[in-house]
Structure 1
Amino acid sequence: MSTHADEHDLRHHGDAEVRDDGADLVDLAVNVRTGTPPSWLLARITASLAGLAAYPDGRAARQAVARRHRRPSEEVLLTAGAAEAFVLLARALAPRRAVVVHPQFTEPEAALRDAGHPVHRVLLRYESGFRLDPADVPQDADFVVIGNPTNPTSVLHPARTLAGLARPGRTVVVDEAFMDAVPGERASLAERRDLPGVVVLRSLTKTWGLAGLRIGYVLAAPPTIAALERAQPLWPVATPALAAAEACCAPPAVAEAAEAARRIAQEREHLLSRLADLPAVEVVGPAEAPFLLLRLPQAAKVRERLRELGFAVRRADTFPGLGPDWLRVAVRDRATTDAFTTALARAALPYNP
């Protein structure tokens, strides 16, 4: 357990890997699905531009999200990406003992610290498959954050494990930004309304290629939603993002996302099979997200050699609980995977300075 900030750069994110020097790199560092947004979604967003003179009206989008997750609209809050939701939670709530389960997306801890809240870390270990034992969370924790599936480990925690964290007087924030990339969305708590204090965050930016538009949402009990809404500025989500939310939560889009999740699972298996041919590379598994966490010797040098070979991967030493021997790699199509693993085999050869 760690209670203090350390040398990990909590503000480093995958997009920095493809912006550092302007090189033309194959992007395996950012977890946005390739080939997105689809043309039908771009058409919906473009059509919304005709209404830019009016203030944004989020009612239709909010109702679409509510229908998608079988909740009343009072249990939905639209946000400028899931990242804004972490800021709102840190500002609106006053945890006495906040716990962040690492390794995971670092923005929740950064938001809590920026709001003046001390953060206690629960560090999961490779030896246990980065899986949570609920007993690892202190009994007196009144605010717990965990990803599912977790970025960067690709671990999917069982729903019963996370549901077991819920209790009166405790807020349990489950970041499900990548859940729609899991076939069947098994282990999701998005439709669970019986668990006290559970807050589920979703993002539409990864599956639908909307990182530049910023759209996500929060699912929680009405009093929590009301508190977060009071912490939001007026009109926080722009009209084009609202149009995207409404479109992406409609049944045809949900079905399309489900089919994409099945394809991603197949492509992930191909990537795993190719990595199995590289004895120096260890992969965290079983993996359930559209990315893999790799451990290999001298990963920082391998990452630089990969850049020279035309591939950007995500450094993982910025995640608490991980060190310099870790990299995160996005799942891509088979041709890209074959080219990448060939390059990785070259880059992972014994380094000669």
Structure 2
Amino acid sequence: MHTHTDGHDLRHHGDAEVRDAASALTDLAVNVRTGTPPPWLRERIAGSLTGLAAYPDGRAARAAVAARHGLPVERVLLTAGAAEAFVLLARALTLRHPLVVHPQFTEPEAALRDAGHRVARLLLREEDGFRLDPAAVPEAADLVMVGNPTNPTSVLHPAAAVERLARPGRLLVVDEAFMDAVPDESESLADRTDVPGLVVLRSLTKTWGLAGLRIGYVLAEPGTIAALERAQPLWPVSTPALAAAEACMDPAALKEAAQAAALIAVERAHLLAGLAEFDEVRVVEAAEAPFVLVHVRRGAEVREQLRRLGFAARRGDTFPGLGPGWLRLAVRDRTTTNRFLQALDQALTMVG
């Protein structure tokens, strides 16, 4: 199913760039960390398979998530990825004036529209560095959805700016799916309990390579958690996914994630330096996530040439606020990045 509004296919995602490829492509379109899940995590998941005859019991995983963030379990809800959380928010809560800050991940707006809501948009502008101005959000909005760091712009908004969006009677939904790829998780609101109406969404699929397992969680006030939980089907998270969630909360896992975030920052700087060499390429320089957003002259043609040269890049024109010249590029290891930069040079020469 595709949700098209204003010419934007809200249900197009990066996996489509590689899923139907006739030949193997180097994947710069999907923001899942390469080389994952690590062996120790695969072993933990495999070990859970002996318990598949029993119904899933999420208590241990829920407690582990709560302890990781210093929160009571009543403020935690485990979900089948962050995508399920978007659907629960759209269907379980009474909303009159939801607003989505764009460009950002499109699934939240798609879920709201599918639930029958009229969705307002706040489009952040390139000339402002795609940075959030809290004063631009209408007071009437009773749900505000913002990504941090934002997909696809890679902009990390200051926590103080995001916090300014909070109001009595408003849900402030912050999608932090990529926050664990930010060193020290700076600007996160996940551990906060003093921000009214705050709902933080987290995903374990990006850093840990669990997109096929579907595991994430919601952090919010107990009343909101209870309302979302009532809208879930019975046993919404599988036993293997629960085992993964518990494992990813271990101190050793958190240390590994922190090390991965530091490495991503180094490799992202290398990618940005290489992109800066091209006059035809304009980069969103305030990149803090494991991907970067670039504008390329004749971008749609360049993307097709890159495919012919063996590289998949995420098209940007499905994101409200962006057009066909925009491409999102996942941060990869230095060897892969160097190969890509050579291919980009060829692609730009080909399109003239």
Counterpart in the other structure of 1:56: 56
Paired with 2:297 and 2:323, the residues of 1 have a C-alpha distance of: 11
Paired with 1:5 and 1:302, the residues of 2 have a C-alpha distance of: 25
Counterpart in the other structure of 1:244: 244
8 A contact 2:88–2:232 mirrored in 1: yes
Paired with 2:104 and 2:188, the residues of 1 have a C-alpha distance of: 17
Paired with 2:239 and 2:21, the residues of 1 have a C-alpha distance of: 33
Q: How many Å apart are 1:190 and its aligned residue?
A: 0.2
Residue 251 of structure 1 aligns with an amino acid whose one-letter code is: P
Q: Could you list the runs of 5+ residues in structure 2 that have no partner in the other structure?
A: none
Paired with 2:75 and 2:218, the residues of 1 have a C-alpha distance of: 8
Residue 166 of structure 2 aligns with an amino acid whose one-letter code is: A
2:50 pairs with 1:25: no
Counterpart in the other structure of 1:161: 161
Paired with 1:78 and 1:15, the residues of 2 have a C-alpha distance of: 24
Residue 321 of structure 1 aligns with an amino acid whose one-letter code is: G
Residue 310 of structure 2 aligns with an amino acid whose one-letter code is: G
Counterpart in the other structure of 2:74: 74
Q: How many Å apart are 1:251 and its aligned residue?
A: 1.0
Counterpart in the other structure of 1:150: 150
Task: Output the aligned Cα RMSD.
Answer: 0.9
Residue 292 of structure 2 aligns with an amino acid whose one-letter code is: L
Counterpart in the other structure of 2:100: 100
Tell me the TM-score normalized by structure 2. 0.98
Paired with 2:159 and 2:302, the residues of 1 have a C-alpha distance of: 36
Q: How many Å apart are 1:22 and its aligned residue?
A: 3.1
8 A contact 2:166–2:172 mirrored in 1: yes
8 A contact 2:305–2:350 mirrored in 1: no
2:279 pairs with 1:279: yes
Counterpart in the other structure of 2:7: 7
Identity rate of aligned residues, in percent? Answer: 72
Paired with 2:172 and 2:115, the residues of 1 have a C-alpha distance of: 18
8 A contact 2:142–2:170 mirrored in 1: yes
CA deviation digits over 1:19-42, x for unaligned, max 9?
133321000000000010000000
**Change in 2 beyond 3 A, CA 1:350/1:305:** closer
Paired with 1:286 and 1:102, the residues of 2 have a C-alpha distance of: 16
2:326 pairs with 1:326: yes
Q: How many Å apart are 1:137 and its aligned residue?
A: 0.4
Counterpart in the other structure of 1:36: 36
- Tell me how many residue pairs correspond in the alignment: 349
8 A contact 2:48–2:239 mirrored in 1: yes
Counterpart in the other structure of 1:348: 348
Residue 231 of structure 1 aligns with an amino acid whose one-letter code is: A
Tell me the TM-score normalized by structure 1. 0.98
Paired with 1:130 and 1:325, the residues of 2 have a C-alpha distance of: 16
3-state SS of the aligned residue for 2:349?
coil
Residue 33 of structure 1 aligns with an amino acid whose one-letter code is: R
Paired with 1:329 and 1:21, the residues of 2 have a C-alpha distance of: 17
3-state SS of the aligned residue for 2:301?
helix
Residue 30 of structure 2 aligns with an amino acid whose one-letter code is: V
Q: How many Å apart are 1:350 and its aligned residue?
A: 5.8
